[in-house]
């Protein structure tokens, strides 16, 4: 395996592993806070039990996320010294702010875990709110750094170096809002619907205890609205890419030729040599309408970009199709669940609908699969650039040979750690009382 491919594979594997814990670290504290708030309002001990179990899960995932995040920070320096040399002074601000958010989350998570019966209910609930808010901010600051890599800003190029660095302008880059909005909603939708699916499966197996019914209601409260809003945030992201990263948009839509009234391709396989997308469903004017809200707008194709600057079209297109398909299914099931809940005036209307419960069980893994596909679109779609239009990935990698060895070692370690985490979460969260 070439060293560049090994370095990219190791980074992809590390990011793919860490993003799961980062996402749940955003969503699970929100569930925890909602459960405790419901307990303070109703006095129902089931909500207290849910809050405590979800808090244990948040602690486990926080610890693993901290470890995998630390590994990523080392990998940035060890695998990509060219990137850090160029960008360190620019993206240092969002990473520093992420560090403050991380430490705040750690402090208040400790208060939350060990403050039961030691601080007032109001103070304890406030600690949970801070944990949830700081988790969101931590994710936002990291995504802002990634957004800068897609739409770099806040510096001036002089002789190949970045000078006149303006950190806040860099943080306010063009992709910052679309990416942070899309990722935050994805975290809530993915976590909420995964938890809802787990409890729906338990109910389908005959355990209709209050524990699972209450958990299902809270999870849908968080996940369903986010899943419904997610396609709208995807529209914002696509329109941003159309303006600032036309090559990425062309790759994810397998759009080879610049044209007005560009069609939208659903499915299909890109034939790069022939510059056609085979077996796709074509919607006339669809891409122009989605990208610019104008059915006759001109959409730039890959023909406007030198061939050596094309992203891997097939990978990006398929990953995008997977993300959109899964997100659409999640949104439709969420609409169904909320409509059923509203019509029945109680969560028991959802619990009593076995077809809906089966649908929720089906979407259990979809949120995380969609997130992995989305990050593939974001990262692979930027290639061959590590900083879009500024620094190539091949120029940023370390010259150290033998990078396949750490890639294999870290892959095995992550697999082992993943098995341990699943076991711990099953013991602490999934196993529930029958009453």
For the ranges 31-40, 172-181, 263-272, 423-432, which has the lowest average pLDDT? 423-432
**Within 13 Å and on the Cβ side, how many CA atoms surround 53?**
21
pLDDT reported for residue 428 = 62
Smallest Cα–Cα separation from 361: which of 203, 222, 228?
203
Cα–Cα distance, 131 to 107 (Å, whole number): 8
Cα–Cα distance, 187 to 23 (Å, whole number): 5
Smallest Cα–Cα separation from 379: which of 309, 311, 431?
311
What is the SS3 assignment for 277? Answer: strand
Determine if the peptide bond prior to 13 is cis (ω within 30°). Answer: no
pLDDT band at 434 (very low <50, low <70, confident <90, very high): very low
Given phi > 0 = left and psi -120 to 50 = alpha, else beta, which region is 267?
left
Cα–Cα distance, 88 to 169 (Å, whole number): 15
Cα–Cα distance, 311 to 380 (Å, whole number): 7
> Percentage of residues in the chain with pLDDT exceeding 90?
43
* DSSP, res 258: -
For the ranges 194-208, 215-229, 343-357, which has the lowest average pLDDT? 343-357
pLDDT reported for residue 74 = 79
**For the residues of 375-432, what is the DSSP string, one character each?**
HHHHHHTTTTEEETTTEEHHHHS---S-THHHHHHHHHHHHHHHHHHHHHHIIIII--
Residue in the block written with tokens 């609930």 = 125
Cα–Cα distance, 50 to 248 (Å, whole number): 43
pLDDT reported for residue 72 = 79
For the ranges 9-13, 44-48, 171-175, which has the lowest average pLDDT? 9-13
What is the SS3 assignment for 296? Answer: coil
Phi, psi torsion values for 269, nearest 5 degrees: -130, 125
* DSSP, res 304: G
pLDDT reported for residue 334 = 95
Cα–Cα distance, 213 to 346 (Å, whole number): 10
pLDDT reported for residue 433 = 52
Chain-wide mean pLDDT for the chain?
A: 88
Q: Give the pLDDT mean for 413-419.
A: 81
Are residues 261 and 285 in contact, defined by beta-carbon separation less than 8 angstroms? yes
Residue 234 has pLDDT above 70, yes or no: yes
Cα–Cα distance, 294 to 277 (Å, whole number): 23
Q: Give the pLDDT mean for 424-435.
A: 59
Are residues 5 and 12 in contact, defined by beta-carbon separation less than 8 angstroms? no
Q: Give the pLDDT mean for 310-326.
A: 93
Are residues 221 and 334 in contact, defined by beta-carbon separation less than 8 angstroms? no
Greatest Cα pair distance in the chain: 70
Are residues 250 and 300 in contact, defined by beta-carbon separation less than 8 angstroms? yes
- Which residues, 6 or more positions from 98, have their beta carbon under 8 angstroms from its beta carbon? 137, 138, 141, 142, 145
Own/partner long-range contacts of 301-307 (Cβ < 8 Å, ≥24 apart) = 301/250, 301/255, 301/256, 301/257, 301/258, 301/259, 301/262, 302/247, 302/250, 302/251, 302/255, 302/256, 302/275, 303/256, 303/257, 303/258, 303/275, 304/246, 304/247, 304/250, 304/258, 305/246, 305/247, 305/250
Cα–Cα distance, 74 to 169 (Å, whole number): 26
Are residues 185 and 136 in contact, defined by beta-carbon separation less than 8 angstroms? no
Residue in the block written with tokens 């009453």 = 435
Q: How many CB atoms lie within 10 A of CB 85?
A: 14
358-402 tens-digit pLDDT: 999 999 999 999 999 999 999 999 989 999 989 999 998 888 888
Q: Give the pLDDT mean for 84-111.
A: 89
Residue 63 has pLDDT above 60, yes or no: yes
pLDDT reported for residue 161 = 82
What is the SS3 assignment for 270? Answer: strand
For the ranges 95-104, 178-187, 396-405, which has the lowest average pLDDT? 396-405
Are residues 61 and 21 in contact, defined by beta-carbon separation less than 8 angstroms? yes
């Amino acid at each position: 395996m070439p060293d560049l491919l090994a370095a990219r594979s190791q980074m992809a594997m590390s990011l793919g592993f860490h993003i799961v814990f980062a996402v749940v670290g955003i969503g699970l504290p929100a569930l925890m806070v909602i459960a405790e708030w419901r307990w303070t309002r109703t006095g129902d001990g089931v909500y207290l039990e849910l809050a405590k179990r979800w808090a244990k899960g948040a602690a486990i995932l926080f610890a693993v996320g901290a470890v995998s995040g630390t590994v990523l920070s080392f990998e940035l320096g060890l695998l990509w010294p060219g990137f850090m040399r160029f960008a360190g002074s620019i993206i240092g601000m969002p990473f520093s702010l992420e560090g403050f958010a991380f430490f705040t989350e750690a402090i208040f998570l400790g208060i939350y875990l060990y403050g039961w019966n030691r601080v007032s209910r109001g103070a304890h609930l406030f600690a949970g709110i801070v944990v949830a808010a700081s988790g969101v901010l931590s994710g936002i600051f990291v995504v802002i750094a990634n957004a800068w890599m897609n739409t770099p800003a806040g510096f001036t190029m002089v002789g190949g170096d970045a000078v006149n660095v303006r950190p806040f302008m860099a943080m306010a880059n063009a992709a910052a809002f679309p990416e942070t909005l899309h990722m935050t909603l994805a975290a809530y939708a993915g976590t909420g619907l995964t938890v809802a699916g787990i409890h729906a499966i338990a109910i389908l197996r005959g355990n209709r205890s209050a524990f699972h019914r209450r958990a299902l209601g809270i999870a849908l409260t968080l996940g369903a609205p986010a899943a419904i809003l997610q396609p709208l945030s995807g529209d914002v992201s696509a329109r941003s890419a159309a303006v600032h990263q036309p090559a990425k948009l062309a790759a994810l839509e397998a759009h080879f030729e610049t044209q007005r009234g560009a069609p939208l391709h659903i499915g299909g396989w890109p034939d790069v040599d022939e510059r056609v997308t085979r077996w796709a469903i074509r919607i006339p004017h669809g891409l122009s309408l989605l990208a610019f809200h104008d059915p006759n707008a001109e959409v730039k194709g890959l023909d406007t970009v030198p061939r050596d600057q094309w992203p891997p079209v097939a990978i990006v297109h398929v990953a995008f199709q997977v993300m959109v398909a899964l997100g659409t299914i999640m949104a439709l099931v969420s609409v169904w669940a909320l409509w059923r809940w509203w019509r029945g005036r109680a969560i028991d209307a959802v619990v009593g609908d076995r077809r809906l419960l089966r649908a929720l069980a089906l979407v259990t893994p979809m949120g995380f699969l969609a997130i992995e596909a989305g990050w593939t679109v974001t990262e692979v779609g930027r290639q061959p650039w590590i900083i879009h239009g500024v620094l190539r990935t091949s120029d940023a990698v370390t010259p150290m040979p033998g990078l396949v060895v750490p890639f294999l070692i870290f892959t095995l370690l992550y697999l082992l750690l993943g098995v341990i985490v699943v076991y711990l979460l099953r013991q602490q969260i999934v196993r529930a009382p029958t009453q």
